[in-house]
Amino acid sequence: MYMAGMRRSGYILVSVLCVISLLATTMTLAADRFVSGIDDLPLMPGLKEIDGSATVFSKPEGRIVEVTATGAVSRDAVRAFYDRTLPELGWRQQAAGSWQRENERLRFDLRDDKKGLVIQFSLTPR
């Protein structure tokens, strides 16, 4: 009886470790997605870029990038994600939805759509 209980505990432990490993892999994959044209700007989990929405220009003063993404996420969740993530990447918040790093300014505008929230990312020289 004691051995059967130990075996069952072992199976439970292995199952729990498999679930934890799967969750960690999923979270890593979600964090590995970045906004097109802005290599170090993560795309929040739950958002998907709209195909063909990325516009990228390079000029002597810096780059100009505009990308649109959408998803069934809340405005508060988007703000919380980027308020937490952007400072870790060297961005300083200037105003709601406006960030600055070195000679670049990042803005994102939020609007509601029938399918969810639409986010327009804009990166411009400062």
Q: Distance (Å, rounded) from C-alpha 78 to C-alpha 76?
A: 5
* Sequence ranges of the domains in the chain: 1-32, 34-125
Q: What is the pLDDT of residue 96?
A: 87
Query: What are 4-44's pLDDT values in tens digits?
Result: 655 665 555 445 444 344 444 434 344 469 999 999 999 99
> DSSP readout, 47-94?
-EEPTT--EEEEETTEEEEEEEEEES--HHHHHHHHHHHGGGGT-EEE
pTM of the model: 0.72
Q: What is the pLDDT of residue 19?
A: 39
65 has a pLDDT exceeding 90: yes
Q: Distance (Å, rounded) from C-alpha 100 to C-alpha 106?
A: 6
